[in-house]
Structure 1
Amino acid sequence: MAQSKEMSLKTINPTEIHERPTKLSLYERSTRVAWPDTATGLKNNLSNWGQNPQRIRSQIQSVSEGDYNAGDSTLNILLLPSSFVVDRHSDESRSITTIMNSPSETLAPVFAFLEHSLTTAQTTFDKLPGSAVIQRYVRSSHQNDPGRTILELILVIFAIRTLLQSRTKSDRNGKHFITFSDKEVDELVEEWTPEPLAPPLSVTERADLDALPIIAGPTGPKPKLVSNGKTATNLASLNFTGLAGNEHIKQQAAEILRKYGLGSCGPPGFYGTLDVHMKLENDIADFLGTEAAILYSQGFSTTSSVIPAFCKRGDIIVADRAVNFAIQKGIQISRSTVRWFDHNDPASLEEVLISVEKERKKRRGPLTRRFIITEGIFQRDGSMVDLPKIIELKYKYKYRLILDESHSFGVVGRTGRGLTELYNVPASKVDMLLGSCANGLGAAGGFCAGSLNVIDHQRINGPSFVFSASMPALLAVSASEAINIFRSSPSIFEALQENVRAAHAILDRIDCISIPSHPASPVIHIYAKPPPSSLLAVPPTPTPGSSPTKHGHSNPMSVLSARESQHTEYEVEERLLQEVVEEALAQGVLVTRAKRLTGQEIVEPRPSIRLALSSALSRKDTEKAVNTLKGVLQKVLRNRK
Structure 2
Amino acid sequence: MTSPCIAFVQTDQTCSNVHQSLLTYRRGVATVNMDLQDVQSTFLRLLDESATQFQRLPGSAILLRYIKSSYQNDPVRSAVELFLFLFAVRYLLAPTYSTQKTHVPLTENEIDELVEDWTPEPLVAPQTVFEEAENEKRPVIVGPTGPKSKLSNGRTVTNLASYNFYNFVGNEALKEKAIQTLRTYGVGPCGPPGFYGTQDVHMKTEADIASHLGTAACIVYAQSFSTISSVIPAFSKRGDIIVADKAVNYAVRKGLQISRSTVRWYEHNDMEDLRRVLEKVTKEQAKKPLTRRFIVTEGLFENVGDMPDLPRVVELKYRYKFRLILDETWSYGVLGRTGRGLTEHQHVDAREVDMIIGSLAGPLCAGGGFCGGSEEVVEHQRISAASYTFSAALPAMLATTASETCRILQENPEIITQLRENIKTIRAQLDPRSDWVVCSSSVENPIMLLVLKPDVVESKRLSVGDQEQTLQDCVDECLANGVLVTRLKSMPPALGAAPRDRGWQPQPALKVCVTTGLSKKEIEKAGVVIRHAITKVMTRRK
Q: TM-score range by the shorter chain?
A: 0.7 to 0.9
1:635 is matched with 536
Contact 1:74 1:95 survives alignment (8 Å): no
In 1, the alpha carbon distance for the partners of 2:345 and 2:101 equals 65
> RMSD of the TM alignment (CA)?
3.8
Structure 2 vs 1, CA of residues 142 and 582 (structure 1 numbering), >3 Å: closer, same or farther? farther
One-letter code aligned to 1:627? V
SS at match of 1:236: coil
1:463 shift after superposition: 1.4
1:141 shift after superposition: 11
The partner residue of 1:454 within 355, 377, 390 is: 377
Unmatched 5+ stretches in structure 2:
1-16, 37-56, 58-62, 64-76, 109-119, 496-501
Q: How does 1:98-177 map to 2 (within 5 A)?
A: 157-158=96-97, 161-162=98-99
Q: How does 1:183-194 map to 2 (within 5 A)?
A: none
One-letter code aligned to 1:464? S
In 2, the alpha carbon distance for the partners of 1:155 and 1:595 equals 62
2:145 is matched with 219
Contact 2:483 2:529 survives alignment (8 Å): yes
In 2, the alpha carbon distance for the partners of 1:359 and 1:594 equals 38
In 2, the alpha carbon distance for the partners of 1:292 and 1:204 equals 46
Unmatched 5+ stretches in structure 1:
1-63, 76-90, 97-126, 178-193, 535-565
In 2, the alpha carbon distance for the partners of 1:195 and 1:424 equals 50
In 2, the alpha carbon distance for the partners of 1:263 and 1:501 equals 40
1:443 is matched with 366
- Return 585-594 or 510-519, whichever deviates more: 510-519
Contact 1:512 1:638 survives alignment (8 Å): no
In 2, the alpha carbon distance for the partners of 1:472 and 1:168 equals 47
Contact 1:381 1:524 survives alignment (8 Å): no
TM-score by length of 1: 0.66
Structure 2 vs 1, CA of residues 450 and 598 (structure 1 numbering), >3 Å: closer, same or farther? closer
TM-score by length of 2: 0.77
1:140 shift after superposition: 6.5
Contact 1:253 1:475 survives alignment (8 Å): yes
2:420 is the counterpart of 1:519: no
State the Cα deviation string for residues 520-571 of structure 1 (Å, max 9, x = none).
211111122348989xxxxxxxxxxxxxxxxxxxxxxxxxxxxxxx9x9332
1:429 is matched with 352
Contact 1:244 1:443 survives alignment (8 Å): no
1:303 is matched with 228
Contact 1:241 1:410 survives alignment (8 Å): no
2:131 is matched with 205
2:284 is matched with 359
2:296 is the counterpart of 1:373: yes
1:170 shift after superposition: 11
1:606 shift after superposition: 2.1
2:331 is the counterpart of 1:408: yes
Between structures 1 and 2, the one with greater helix share: 2
1:69 shift after superposition: 6.2
In 1, the alpha carbon distance for the partners of 2:457 and 2:82 equals 67
1:313 shift after superposition: 2.2
One-letter code aligned to 1:529? K
In 1, the alpha carbon distance for the partners of 2:143 and 2:218 equals 34
SS at match of 1:223: strand
Contact 1:532 1:570 survives alignment (8 Å): no
In 1, the alpha carbon distance for the partners of 2:21 and 2:434 equals 126
Contact 2:224 2:359 survives alignment (8 Å): yes
1:487 is matched with 410
In 2, the alpha carbon distance for the partners of 1:154 and 1:328 equals 50
2:24 is the counterpart of 1:71: yes
Greater C-alpha radius of gyration: 1
SS at match of 1:71: helix
How many residue pairs align between the two structures?
465
Structure 2 vs 1, CA of residues 404 and 196 (structure 1 numbering), >3 Å: closer, same or farther? closer
2:471 is the counterpart of 1:577: yes
Q: How does 1:9-48 map to 2 (within 5 A)?
A: none
1:469 is matched with 392
2:526 is the counterpart of 1:617: no
2:487 is the counterpart of 1:593: yes
In 2, the alpha carbon distance for the partners of 1:318 and 1:154 equals 52
1:367 shift after superposition: 3.4
- Counting aligned pairs with the same residue, the percent is 48
In 1, the alpha carbon distance for the partners of 2:93 and 2:509 equals 60
The partner residue of 1:283 within 199, 208, 212 is: 208
In 2, the alpha carbon distance for the partners of 1:626 and 1:67 equals 132
One-letter code aligned to 2:442? H
1:551 is matched with none
RCO comparison, higher one (Cα < 8 Å, 6+): 2
One-letter code aligned to 1:639? R
In 1, the alpha carbon distance for the partners of 2:19 and 2:122 equals 99
1:46 is matched with none
2:453 is matched with 529
In 2, the alpha carbon distance for the partners of 1:435 and 1:156 equals 54
SS at match of 2:148: coil
